[in-house]
Structure 1
Amino acid sequence: MSSSPHSPAAPTDGAALHEEALQALGALTGREEARFHPGQFEAIQALVAERRRVLVVQRTGWGKSAVYFLAALLQRRRGAGPALIISPLIALMRDQVAAARRAGVRAEAISSANPTEWRDIEEGLAADAIDVLLVSPERLVNPRFREEQLPRLVDRCGLLVIDEAHCISDWGHDFRPDYRRLRDLVAQLGTEVPVLATTATANSRVVADVAEQLGTGGADGEVLTLRGSLTRESLRLGSLSLADDRQRLDYLVRHLDSFEGSGIIYALTVSAAEDLASLLDRPGRRVRAYTGRTDPEERAELEQALKDNQVKALAATSALGMGFDKPDLGFVIHLGAPSSPVAYYQQVGRAGRATDRADVLLLPGREDRAVWEYFATSSMPSQESASQVLTALAEAGAPLSTPALETRVDVRRSALELLLKVLAVDGAVQNVKGGWIATGAPWHYDAARYETVARARREEQQAMLAYEALSGGPEQCRMVFLARQLDDETAVPCGHCDVCAGPWYPAPDAPAAAGDRPGEEGADERVAALLERVGVPVEPRASWPSGLDRLLGADAPKGRIPEGERAVEGRVIARMSDLGWAVPLRELLRSDEDGRPVDAVVPERIGSRIVEVLKDWDWEQRPAAVVAVPSATRPQLVSSLAAGIASVGRLEDLGALDLAPGAAPLRGGGNSAFRVADLWERFSVGEQLRSRLEQLDGAPILLVDDVIDTRWTMAVAARLLRRAGSGPVLPLALAQQA
């Protein structure tokens, strides 16, 4: 196929275009009798015949990908250049490339998963042998791609597609800053290049924001919005509130086989997903974990295993989300609720695309709100952090890599990467060869907007709680509720959710499904073993963070922490994200309404778990003494923990390290270099403690604190104790934050 840059297609007869598009649809679907859903051809016609800018908001499974693949193919036949599809996930790209090729569309993708193929793809683009190129929005930030490939793509682009377009909007449940860069890309294309944005999860506010991001439309100056009903007749929705983790896990063990086919069980945290997979997996009914920690190659294998029904379920975090396509997915279960009904709708929309019925069950948990709050507070940039970054880049005089910048600003790595993207999209910083630079462009922190977004997210959390509490008949239908959260007022009661028709799922005390061996024997024991499990290992820090000399001077430590100054592997009862003991630990370590940590003596129930941890600890030599980390926030809790351990274990209670006069509570967040700098002179070893350490003649000691977060407190304190003459230092705390 030949092409010329932005070559306008000749006027296309509507009937002829419809017939041509129908033939292409038959090739895409493999069914000659295939026909368009209402709105599909209208979108294709607007793109191909009128070169408009189109926003399509349609439910999952409606066929949005068919619109852009067919439009791309028809554009190519009319001499246009290749289509550029912005796609947010590697898994989604794989499915999209396969679908395009089935329709005879020559498609390729550039992502972090296939760097060895990039050169061949570039040569294919140069030879005009590629019809569709898929890239992630993050690729637009890559200096080489932006400088070498993007200008040529812009010059020849025949169609721009922005898939999962709700990611453009920071009002949306899945905002990705790099998507906002697409507004500039749209502007570069000019009005003669058709643009299509698609999403299945956008309310009116997000729709308006996305349309505004698309900018000026085509011939008539408007963005054409094609919005259909978002209800899904195949989904049978339900919500079952159980008292605690034990009841929820027992329910899944006993009744998972009651759910037909294969499906997804979503959990809110990585550790919960991994624990769930371990609990439910058995020969003949496989359940595997799929999280952000899963290797890319294994992710692809797991996705294919689910598509081929080789597993009963994937226990997954939101890492398995947008774009995963298994038309016959039989069920979606949530162990814990997402923070937004829109996010929930997006995840459950994976099920029942090509089946008459798919089951969707929510099992909300007591920990949900704490998890929501954690993610909400970690995703918003602060004015202080932004100012630190801009000042550091302006003063550097040369590009700074993210690790180098991290030594200059007190922002944790994940938050820093997000903030840089926000600033880059706003034009205040730029990613160039060698790192980041400040552009000098003025930048204003839009506090009012961020507060409005934060308020909207709090409202979404309340709406999710309202969804869980629905009852009272069809007037409170679950599908209607979700549709109206998306501002779809066309929804009518579904007639088969648990509110419309009564519970369709097994009652908690119902017998297990026939043949469900985990339900028949050993279920109680396995659930109890998981929930009562205590003693999570905590790896010690092995190296000092780079850049400490900027904060502590020329004598700052660097490189590997010497073996003789390093803590050994420690223990906590549980991670705060775990199932089971995380719930009482979160309650014990809570803050009051004013945000002040609640301080109390360690309760007997928690103390007995610490004793279990100590009994099961496979140390080389039994510790001889206990030292406490002095706490400015929970002194009573830490001192009672240390004293209790010393008493029960018949260990010498050496008291606590000295706390620097006037030491304030440590700040939350921040990065490793700044945390170490904050800790460096915070503690000291008093003369009495030093003398008693020397008398122990190198015996191991337990170093006790309430919570282990970054692990730097234990690293710095262990160094002090070792240099004062102690033996091996074994960190011990109630919980670990991550």
Structure 2
Amino acid sequence: MTDLRQPALDALRDLVGRDDADFHDGQFEAIEALVEGRRRALVVQRTGWGKSAVYFVSTLLQRRAGAGPTLLVSPLLALMRDQIAAAERAGVRAVAINSTNAHEWRDVEQQLAADEVDVLLVSPERLNNPSFRETQLPALVDRIGLLVVDEAHCISDWGHDFRPDYRRLRDLIAQMPADVPVLATTATANSRVVADVAEQLGATTAALGGSDARGGDVDDRDAAADVLTIRGPLARASLRLGVLRLPDSPSRLAWLLNHLDELPGSGIIYTLTVAAANDTARLLREHGHAVRAYTGQTDPDERAESEGMLKRNEVKALIATSALGMGFDKPDLGFVLHLGAPSSPVAYYQQVGRAGRATESADVLLMPGTEDPDIWHYFATASMPDEERANRVISALSPEQPTSTPALEAMVDIRRTPLELLLKVLDVDGAVRRVQGGWVATGAPWVYDGDRYRRIAAERKAEQQHMIEYETTDVCRMEFLQRSLDDDTAAPCGRCDNCAGAWYPTAVGGEASAAARGALDRVGVPIEPRAQWPTGADRLGVPVKGRIAPDERAAEGRALARLTDLGWGGTLRELFAAGAADAPVPPRVLDGCVRVLAEWGWAERPVAVIAMPSRSKPQLVDSLARGIAEVGRLPYLGALELVDGGPTGQPGGNSAFRLAGVWGRFSTAGLDVPAGPVLLVDDQVDSRWSLTVAARELRRAGATEVLPFALAVRG
């Protein structure tokens, strides 16, 4: 292709539907580097700049020249849906293979075989699916015309949203012919992340016109050996940033009740936890606001429906966790509001970038919470591999016989979610491999890179402090965010609250405050009974398997609240904080528990109260059980007896080990268990195996039903 610009411009105009459209600075340079130079390129540009135009236009030009399909690695289902819709508008035939469309996989395979696909979208996790990796990927690699890695900051464990499966892309690139171009795109990468991503793409970085290129001639070094970085200014002129500090969760929710309708258009309200998203959405709906919750626990079909409703302005807002983040495309999104701050300015920039992409103005307001640092700490440590755990997993795996994840979980005492994350890290490191039927050890030596993880942990801590500085700074907020991403074009925006004064109301009405406090004062969380013994328990000396016999099960129980709840969660977190002294239950907490019991609606009223034995909070549990018995005018029979020192399971282990740790450790000796329902009182509920085993003992001792009650549900 000797004259690429005109056909590229024609394709761009078809894509955006405007005859006067032209390239932004850097767009054509990236297309030229991919299509003519067959290069590897990293594009770091603000949200709305048009990164998708680069890969769709490049795909069209490549396909017209006879190249194979583009493989687009995309991290989120919401992003895939938007990318497919954008591709259709551009006349690009795009299909996806993901966890929600297994019924379409055969059709996709046939379309690929018939060369009827221009872009195939897959998640990074799909690259390690044994069937896809072994039967489809090799043929695709032989034909691939372009590899696109979207949201490429996920490659870097220095980034705010690292995903281990992205590290596999380096191996994929190594398998491809050297002349297949590669494009990585992101809106959120500082210099450290840019360097790391370029390394994962397999080469050194060659910048276009310097380290922060915005035009000029392409570096003439060997294109096959270098990664071209095109990096633009990250300022978002449409965004009006602000920070509103209010004393507590009820005040923040009351502000929303008062002022949500004053925010422009429709938008996203981000929370840090699933519980906060659900609580906030429920409160706003009850007061007439059209909102929906959107979290990683929301059903996929419901999530897709909610995305569509937001795009059509059928709701005022989605109350979302970070599950609604990267790449969600609503060009006229009017506002982004945060109830609680993300853990770094980089992560914050990523989320606020959803707003104002095709509007002159959009409002962005951060309402930080005092609980934010505790939540940051949890998520920062959850993703770090632990050396002892890693060695335990490697040792447990056979090099020949695959072990399924549930079976491995029962062998190594690591819960499913952290175990799956650890397996991904070890797989990327080459120590284990996913095959049909489970996991095997490769036999390759594995060394824990402690220095690297300590540096990453220190970087995470520094980012958290940087976020606190963003909240309290008196300089331009957009300039602060740009500098956080090492954008040397940063300058005052003239629009944020520090540049132009507070643009948002600060008053919180008394009626709204009362409504918010009333909503957060709600009590009562179900404790679902265990119905199935965990896989592998029999291998640990626990002689049970399959379903729990109905006459040995607990009934559905109740807890005062979750530890993560916006309302009672704060009180309970103080009660169970590390180092908090054991003491009798506070009167206010007991009153809340009595309210839960009054609203329970059990089929038959309990005839007695029994306590779980507690080694950490004996005063708390005993006083709680006695208080409930006194208010309910029920006999308090005392606590179950601990056998052989009591439970050995530690918080955080998996079900089989947790069950083994409490099996046979509770005794009804000394208790006159009545032939009727009994209320079983505990302090916290985590895995529910202690309550399950204790209920089994009480049922076997004659109780017709066991009704578990606890102060707090963890998580």
TM superposition score category, shorter chain reference: over 0.9
Q: Is the Cα contact below 8 Å between 1:265 and 1:314 reproduced in 2?
A: yes
Per-residue deviation at 1:386? Answer: 1.3
Alignment of 1:96-115 (within 5 A): 96-115=83-102
Per-residue deviation at 1:94? Answer: 1.5
Query: Which residue of 2 is the match for residue 349 of structure 1?
Result: 353
Residues of 2 paired with 1:713 and 1:315: CA distance?
34
**2:429 counterpart of 1:431:** no
Q: Please point out which of 36, 44, 55 is paired with 1:57.
A: 44
Q: Is the Cα contact below 8 Å between 1:191 and 1:216 reproduced in 2?
A: no
Residues of 2 paired with 1:90 and 1:632: CA distance?
45
Q: Is the Cα contact below 8 Å between 1:273 and 1:317 reproduced in 2?
A: yes
Alignment of 1:100-499 (within 5 A): 100-216=87-203, 219=223, 221-281=225-285, 285-394=289-398, 397-471=400-474, 476-499=475-498
- Three-state SS of the structure 1 residue aligned to 2:693 is helix
**2:690 counterpart of 1:713:** yes
Instruction: State the AA in 2 paired with 1:51.
Output: R
**2:650 counterpart of 1:667:** yes
Residues of 2 paired with 1:219 and 1:503: CA distance?
49
Residues of 1 paired with 2:166 and 2:368: CA distance?
31
Residues of 2 paired with 1:679 and 1:319: CA distance?
35
Per-residue deviation at 1:624? Answer: 2.5
Per-residue deviation at 1:182? Answer: 0.2
Larger CA deviation: 59-68 vs 648-657: 648-657
- Three-state SS of the structure 2 residue aligned to 1:236 is strand
Q: Is the Cα contact below 8 Å between 2:130 and 2:434 reproduced in 1?
A: yes
Per-residue deviation at 1:208? Answer: 0.8
Alignment of 1:457-606 (within 5 A): 457-471=460-474, 476-509=475-508, 523-524=512-513, 526-552=515-541, 556-592=543-579, 598-606=581-589
Larger CA deviation: 629-638 vs 345-354: 629-638
Residues of 2 paired with 1:36 and 1:23: CA distance?
11
Identity rate of aligned residues, in percent? 65
CA deviation profile, 1:610-638 (whole Å, cap 9, x unmatched) = 12112222122222322221222222222
Residues of 2 paired with 1:715 and 1:201: CA distance?
46
Larger CA deviation: 280-289 vs 301-310: 280-289
TM-score, L = length of structure 1: 0.92
Per-residue deviation at 1:283? Answer: 9.2
CA deviation profile, 1:154-174 (whole Å, cap 9, x unmatched) = 111111110000111111111
Query: Which residue of 2 is the match for residue 701 of structure 1?
Result: 678
Residues of 2 paired with 1:666 and 1:131: CA distance?
53
Judged with a 3 Å threshold, the aligned counterparts in structure 2 of structure 1 residues 377 and 660 are, in CA distance, closer, same or farther, namely farther
CA deviation profile, 1:589-627 (whole Å, cap 9, x unmatched) = 1013xxxx5422211121211121122221222223222
Q: Is the Cα contact below 8 Å between 1:88 and 1:164 reproduced in 2?
A: yes
Q: Is the Cα contact below 8 Å between 1:632 and 1:665 reproduced in 2?
A: no
- Three-state SS of the structure 1 residue aligned to 2:242 is strand
Q: Give 5+ residue unaligned stretches, structure 2.
A: 205-221
Residues of 1 paired with 2:241 and 2:437: CA distance?
51
Per-residue deviation at 1:149? Answer: 1.0
Q: Is the Cα contact below 8 Å between 1:632 and 1:664 reproduced in 2?
A: no
Q: Please point out which of 71, 79, 82 is paired with 1:95.
A: 82
CA deviation profile, 1:17-37 (whole Å, cap 9, x unmatched) = 111211111000001110111
- Three-state SS of the structure 2 residue aligned to 1:361 is strand
Judged with a 3 Å threshold, the aligned counterparts in structure 2 of structure 1 residues 413 and 618 are, in CA distance, closer, same or farther, namely same
Query: Which residue of 2 is the match for residue 678 of structure 1?
Result: 661
Per-residue deviation at 1:299? Answer: 1.3
- Three-state SS of the structure 1 residue aligned to 2:398 is helix
Q: Is the Cα contact below 8 Å between 2:647 and 2:662 reproduced in 1?
A: no
- Three-state SS of the structure 1 residue aligned to 2:434 is strand
Residues of 2 paired with 1:99 and 1:182: CA distance?
24
CA deviation profile, 1:167-206 (whole Å, cap 9, x unmatched) = 1111111111110000001111132111110001111111
Per-residue deviation at 1:311? Answer: 0.8
Residues of 1 paired with 2:386 and 2:508: CA distance?
48
Residues of 1 paired with 2:83 and 2:26: CA distance?
21
Alignment: residue pair count: 698
Per-residue deviation at 1:445? Answer: 1.6
Instruction: State the AA in 1 paired with 2:570.
Output: V
Judged with a 3 Å threshold, the aligned counterparts in structure 2 of structure 1 residues 307 and 322 are, in CA distance, closer, same or farther, namely same
Residues of 2 paired with 1:726 and 1:131: CA distance?
65
Per-residue deviation at 1:654? Answer: 1.8
Per-residue deviation at 1:707? Answer: 0.7
Q: Is the Cα contact below 8 Å between 2:250 and 2:513 reproduced in 1?
A: no
CA deviation profile, 1:492-516 (whole Å, cap 9, x unmatched) = 1111111111110112247xxxxxx
Per-residue deviation at 1:712? Answer: 1.0
Residues of 2 paired with 1:423 and 1:25: CA distance?
42
Q: Please point out which of 693, 699, 702 is paired with 1:722.
A: 699
Residues of 1 paired with 2:184 and 2:581: CA distance?
48
Instruction: State the AA in 1 paired with 2:466.
Output: A
Supply the RMSD in Å over aligned alpha carbons: 1.7
Query: Which residue of 2 is the match for residue 3 of structure 1?
Result: none
Residues of 2 paired with 1:189 and 1:117: CA distance?
26
Q: Is the Cα contact below 8 Å between 2:72 and 2:122 reproduced in 1?
A: yes
**2:587 counterpart of 1:610:** no
Query: Which residue of 2 is the match for residue 640 of structure 1?
Result: 623
Residues of 1 paired with 2:326 and 2:194: CA distance?
18
TM-score, L = length of structure 2: 0.95
Query: Which residue of 1 is the match for residue 207 of structure 2?
Result: none
CA deviation profile, 1:300-323 (whole Å, cap 9, x unmatched) = 111111111111111111111111
Residues of 2 paired with 1:722 and 1:328: CA distance?
59
Judged with a 3 Å threshold, the aligned counterparts in structure 2 of structure 1 residues 465 and 682 are, in CA distance, closer, same or farther, namely farther
Instruction: State the AA in 2 paired with 1:292.
Output: G
Q: Is the Cα contact below 8 Å between 1:565 and 1:719 reproduced in 2?
A: yes
Per-residue deviation at 1:404? Answer: 1.6
- Three-state SS of the structure 1 residue aligned to 2:397 is helix
Per-residue deviation at 1:656? Answer: 1.4
- Three-state SS of the structure 2 residue aligned to 1:338 is coil
- Three-state SS of the structure 2 residue aligned to 1:334 is strand
Instruction: State the AA in 2 paired with 1:137.
Output: P
CA deviation profile, 1:215-244 (whole Å, cap 9, x unmatched) = 037636211111111121111111111111
